[in-house]
């Protein structure tokens, strides 16, 4: 233990203090006032009128001068990093060269009967000391949190050998305070401290070495800060406990001190405000946040133990030393009554996953029947995901061969960081100038085929909105009201896009202005030419309608991954134009590299008039866009003003830009073609000879496996899920396995997929025979 804690305080009287000040620092004081200190003596020196002159600190005789030098160097370091931090910096002794970096030039030694005392002189900082924490406003709590983080940040690059000390106030040494338990007179408090130390040893100590560590203040409290009238910190006056420890040690002391007098809900509410302030400067790591309750309780326990022990030994006046013990004990009681797990959640940490059955019931109660039901007979409760693997609450991992939205992989750090960074900096709308949406639009335009004229971008927030806006553009520009879509298409949830989504029509009547056409079914050899398209145009014309637009998902996901090929697609496009309509390429499914090209319409060799983007665009962050030609946008602008509050906001744009970067950096597109090829081949060889499997088709990582019927498809999907692989189903009869993984899927995952498929098919065949 640091010997200063066991040594007696210095006991200089007023006359000696004035004498020392004059002789060692040329400070000519007429009076002094003892400001109170745990183990040192701190005096305010005043002139004849009682006006403050300086603050003098007389160190304990057991103080190691190296510690004082560390303190001086640390404060100088911090004030260089963050010059507006209101830090008490020890003055240079008279005669020292100005601006000296020699810490010894900031202290003088004074000999007394009990040994040498080091004396330091400080300028008087504004504000008053020892504010009662309970009076601090919410704004002050937040500001204290922010200040604590700034102090930590300012000390980040500092080190000094003396920082490796065993200062008991530093909570990493909390287990050592067990030897002090006997000094705690109040049995209730003793038991609380004992329980907290148990918890520290079992839960905190094992992970302590993984916490971010540096030289920290360790004692940011109302005793060591001056505050202005509003309770904001105007001075930090004591770096005497500075140690190399976990960064969050500072937060433990701030919480311990500021939460005094706050219990129950108010303790947690106030703590969250302090943590918000801290995280304005330094975001906390998940583990740091999770341990916040234990860290606060440990600091409270240490407070009780050390003060009780020092009182018992007669080192301090018990009333002064133990003044915080009752209130900090109440803070511990609050934490224990809530429980550690719940406390962590109330500080803002992620909680333990809830029980699946509870979640299903609660979902049903508040979400109701209109929302599509959960995937799988036994729902999957996902708690995390990385790359192509998703982890459920029960710890089981699933290979994701279904989700196209996290296109560069679940939880990609580049995208997650872009969102967090931009969210901290500024998020606003496109009425203000900002780089990211402009850059995103430029880069999207640059991906469109040369000479396509697709040079103008409108940002929205989803695929539905993109299609909705594209439809508005088409009707406005053409003056027509008819629409064409494929027989089982899906294009969105809005009124206009649901009308273009036969998949959603179900029981309702097809909308008057929409006609569908059947895409070619190469397996059965039907609808191979343009006749179905012509038929749809004729039926529209018979109702007096000309097409405003035809809309196509070029990988035909909902229709069951059918492939029109360039020749037929070209005919569709030509006929649409001839009838006065525009072509909308819906890239919500097929875009952003799914086919191995950036856009799925490219392989059809067509140039659309409108391109709509969504789903994978920002790897899961909601973003959508319409890309079109300038003259189309200009005609629209003649009739209306377009603005979407969130469309093109800097956070969404940063996420979408990160996706474009990763697609390039990880060379995703060339890999998609290869992986898709390998996956398709592997599925074909596993399914060869199985009468259930009628067709394996697809482009890139949009693969459909047509099976005999919807029930077989659903059973296969469930079978794969039981074997840890996630897929979906699609097609009018629901008889096509929808294999559409994140583009982070590689050939390494192919055997995982195919062995699960093989087992599922073998088991199904055995079931048939049984
Ligand atoms: N277009 C297509 C082709 C889609 O698959 C979807 C969504 N499944 C949408 C549009 C609608 O996108 P969102 O759900 O983001 O509104």
Give the ligand 1 atom nearest the CA of 467. 10
615 lines ligand 1 (CB under 6 A): yes
pLDDT tens digit string along 142-165? 999 999 999 999 999 999 999 999
Tell me: pLDDT of 2 over 80. Answer: no
Give the ligand 1 atom nearest the CA of 465. 16
494 lines ligand 1 (CB under 6 A): no
Reported confidence tier of residue 206, pLDDT bands at 50, 70, 90:
very high
pLDDT tens digit string along 592-603? 999 999 999 999
616 lines ligand 1 (CB under 6 A): no
Displacement of CA 507 from its chain's centroid (Å):
42
User: 469 C-alpha to center of ligand 1: Å?
Assistant: 13
- DSSP secondary structure, 228-281, as one string: -TTS-EEEE---TT-EEEETTHHHHHHHHHHTTT--HHHHHHHHHHHHHHHHHH
Q: How far apart are CA 195 and CA 457, in angstroms?
A: 61
Q: Rounding to the nearest 10 degrees, give the CA dihedral for residues 682, 685, 691, 693.
A: 20
What is the predicted pLDDT for the residue at 767?
Answer: 81
Q: How far apart are CA 147 and CA 124, in angstroms?
A: 20
Dihedral sign, CA of 369, 371, 372, 376?
negative
pLDDT tens digit string along 325-348? 999 999 999 999 999 999 999 999
- Give the residue carrying structure tokens 């233990």: 1
Give the ligand 1 atom nearest the CA of 464. 16
468, 495, 615: residue to mutate for ligand 1 pocket, most atoms within 8 A of CB: 615
Which tokens go with 763? 């088991």
588 lines ligand 1 (CB under 6 A): yes
Those residues with Cβ within 8 angstroms of residue 545's Cβ, 6 or more apart along the chain or in another chain = 480, 481, 482, 513
504 lines ligand 1 (CB under 6 A): no
pLDDT tens digit string along 440-461? 999 999 999 999 999 999 999 9
Tell me: pLDDT of 521 over 90. Answer: yes
Q: How far apart are CA 327 and CA 665, in angstroms?
A: 56
What is the predicted pLDDT for the residue at 768?
Answer: 72
Which tokens go with 703? 């693969």
Q: Rounding to the nearest 10 degrees, give the CA dihedral for residues 387, 616, 492, 389.
A: 0
614, 622, 728: residue to mutate for ligand 1 pocket, most atoms within 8 A of CB: 614
What is the predicted pLDDT for the residue at 759?
Answer: 96
Which tokens go with 425? 């900096």
Angstrom distances, CA of residue 690 to CA of 268, 287, 724, 726 = 61, 50, 22, 21
Q: Whose CA is nearest to atom 13 of ligand 1?
A: 463
493 lines ligand 1 (CB under 6 A): yes
As a whole-number percent, the residues of the chain with pLDDT over 70 amount to: 100
φ, ψ at 349 (rounded to 5°): -75, 160
What is the predicted pLDDT for the residue at 400?
Answer: 98
Reported confidence tier of residue 770, pLDDT bands at 50, 70, 90:
low
User: 491 C-alpha to center of ligand 1: Å?
Assistant: 5
As a whole-number percent, the residues of the chain with pLDDT over 90 amount to: 90
Q: How far apart are CA 501 and CA 491, in angstroms?
A: 5
Averaged pLDDT, 413-427: 97
Q: How far apart are CA 492 and CA 503, in angstroms?
A: 10
User: 675 C-alpha to center of ligand 1: Å?
Assistant: 24
Averaged pLDDT, 220-227: 96
Q: Whose CA is nearest to atom 5 of ligand 1?
A: 589
485, 492, 502, 591: residue to mutate for ligand 1 pocket, most atoms within 8 A of CB: 492
Dihedral sign, CA of 657, 661, 664, 666?
negative
User: 512 C-alpha to center of ligand 1: Å?
Assistant: 22
N-terminal to C-terminal alpha carbon distance within the chain = 75
User: 588 C-alpha to center of ligand 1: Å?
Assistant: 6
User: 649 C-alpha to center of ligand 1: Å?
Assistant: 20
Angstrom distances, CA of residue 344 to CA of 288, 339, 349, 353, 594 = 10, 9, 5, 13, 41
491 lines ligand 1 (CB under 6 A): yes
Those residues with Cβ within 8 angstroms of residue 733's Cβ, 6 or more apart along the chain or in another chain = 709, 710
Q: How far apart are CA 178 and CA 158, in angstroms?
A: 31
Tell me: pLDDT of 89 over 90. Answer: yes
Are 322 and 308 spatial neighbours (Cβ–Cβ below 8 Å)?
yes
Q: How far apart are CA 366 and CA 408, in angstroms?
A: 32
> Is residue 705 classed as helix, strand or coil in its secondary structure?
strand
Angstrom distances, CA of residue 350 to CA of 284, 288, 414, 720 = 12, 11, 22, 30
Specify the pTM. Answer: 0.90
What is the predicted pLDDT for the residue at 581?
Answer: 98
Averaged pLDDT, 406-422: 97
Averaged pLDDT, 1-6: 79
Least confident of 169-173, 354-358, 554-558: 354-358
467 lines ligand 1 (CB under 6 A): yes
| Residue 9 DSSP symbol | P
Q: How far apart are CA 367 and CA 360, in angstroms?
A: 10
Which tokens go with 123? 């300028």
Tell me: pLDDT of 748 over 80. Answer: yes
Mean predicted lDDT score pLDDT of the chain: 95
490 lines ligand 1 (CB under 6 A): yes
Of 69, 90, 55, 64, the closest CA to residue 7 belongs to 64
What is the predicted pLDDT for the residue at 17?
Answer: 92
Q: How far apart are CA 241 and CA 165, in angstroms?
A: 9
Tell me: pLDDT of 296 over 90. Answer: yes
Angle formed by the axes of helices 249-258 and 292-312, nearest 10°: 70
């Amino acid at each position: 233990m640091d010997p200063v804690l066991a040594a007696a305080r210095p006991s200089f009287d007023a006359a000696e203090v004035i004498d020392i000040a004059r002789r060692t620092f040329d400070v000519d004081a007429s009076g002094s006032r003892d400001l109170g200190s745990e183990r040192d003596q701190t005096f305010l020196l005043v002139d004849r009128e009682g006006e403050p002159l300086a603050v003098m600190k007389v160190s304990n005789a057991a103080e190691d001068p190296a510690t004082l030098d560390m303190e001086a160097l640390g404060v100088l370091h911090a004030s260089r990093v963050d010059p507006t931090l209101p830090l008490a910096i020890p003055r240079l002794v008279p005669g020292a060269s100005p601006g000296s970096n020699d810490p010894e030039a900031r202290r003088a030694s004074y000999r007394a009967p009990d040994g040498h005392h080091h004396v330091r002189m400080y300028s008087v900082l504004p504000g008053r000391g020892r504010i009662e924490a309970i009076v601090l406003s919410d704004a002050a709590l937040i500001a204290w949190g922010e200040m604590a983080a700034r102090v930590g940040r300012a000390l980040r690059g500092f080190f000094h050998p003396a920082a490796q000390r065993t200062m008991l106030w530093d909570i990493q040494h909390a287990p050592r305070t067990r030897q002090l338990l006997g000094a705690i007179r109040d049995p209730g408090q003793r038991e609380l401290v004992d329980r907290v130390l148990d918890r520290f040893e079992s839960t905190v100590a094992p992970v302590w070495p993984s916490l971010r560590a540096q030289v920290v203040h360790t004692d940011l409290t109302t005793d060591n800060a001056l505050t202005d009238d509003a309770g904001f910190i105007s001075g930090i006056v004591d770096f005497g406990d500075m140690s190399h420890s976990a960064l969050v040690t500072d937060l433990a002391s701030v919480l311990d001190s500021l939460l005094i007098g706050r219990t129950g809900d108010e303790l947690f509410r106030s703590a969250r405000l302090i943590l918000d302030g801290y995280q304005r400067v330094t975001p906390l790591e998940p583990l740091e946040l999770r341990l916040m309750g234990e860290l606060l309780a440990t600091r409270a326990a240490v407070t009780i133990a050390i003060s009780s022990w020092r009182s018992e030994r007669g080192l301090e006046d018990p009333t002064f030393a133990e003044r915080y013990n009752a209130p900090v004990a109440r803070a511990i009681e609050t934490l224990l009554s809530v429980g550690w797990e719940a406390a962590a959640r109330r500080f803002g940490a992620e909680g333990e996953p809830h029980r699946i059955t509870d979640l299903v019931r609660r979902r049903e109660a508040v979400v109701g029947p209109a929302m599509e039901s959960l995937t799988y007979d036994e729902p999957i409760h996902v708690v995390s995901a990385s790359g192509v693997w998703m982890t459920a609450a029960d710890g089981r991992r699933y290979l994701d061969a279904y989700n196209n939205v996290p296109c560069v992989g679940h939880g990609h750090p580049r995208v997650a960081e872009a969102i967090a960074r931009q969210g901290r900096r500024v998020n606003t709308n496109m009425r203000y100038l900002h780089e990211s949406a402009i850059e995103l639009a430029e880069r999207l335009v640059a991906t469109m085929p040369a000479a396509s004229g697709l040079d103008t971008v409108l940002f929205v927030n989803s695929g539905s909105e993109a299609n909705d806006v594209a439809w508005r553009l088409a009707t406005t520009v053409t003056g027509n009201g008819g629409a064409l879509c494929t027989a089982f298409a899906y294009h969105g949830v809005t009124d206009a896009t649901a009308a273009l989504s036969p998949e959603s029509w179900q029981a309702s009547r097809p909308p008057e202005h929409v006609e569908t056409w059947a895409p070619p079914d190469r397996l059965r050899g039907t609808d191979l030419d343009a006749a179905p398209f012509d038929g749809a145009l004729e039926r529209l014309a018979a109702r007096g309608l000309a097409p405003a637009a035809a809309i196509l998902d070029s990988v035909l996901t909902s229709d069951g991954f059918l492939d029109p090929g360039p020749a037929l697609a070209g005919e569709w496009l030509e006929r649409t134009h001839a009838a006065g309509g525009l072509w909308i390429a819906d890239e919500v499914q097929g875009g952003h590299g799914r086919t191995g090209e950036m856009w799925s319409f490219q392989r059809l060799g067509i140039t659309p008039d409108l391109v709509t983007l969504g789903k994978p665009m920002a790897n899961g962050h909601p973003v959508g866009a319409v890309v079109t030609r300038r003259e189309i946008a200009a005609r629209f602008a003649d009739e209306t003003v377009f603005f979407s509050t969130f469309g093109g906001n800097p956070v969404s744009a940063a996420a979408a830009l990160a996706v474009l970067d990763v697609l390039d950096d990880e060379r995703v597109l060339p890999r998609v073609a290869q992986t898709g090829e390998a996956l398709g081949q592997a599925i074909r060889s596993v399914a060869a000879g199985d009468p259930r499997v009628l067709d394996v088709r697809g482009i890139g990582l949009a693969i459909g496996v047509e099976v005999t019927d919807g029930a077989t498809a659903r059973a296969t999907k469930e079978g794969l899920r039981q074997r840890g692989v996630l897929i979906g189903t699609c097609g009018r009869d629901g008889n096509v396995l929808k294999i559409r993984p994140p583009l982070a899927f590689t050939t390494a995952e192919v055997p995982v997929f195919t062995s699960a498929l093989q087992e599922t098919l073998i088991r199904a065949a055995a079931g048939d025979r049984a």
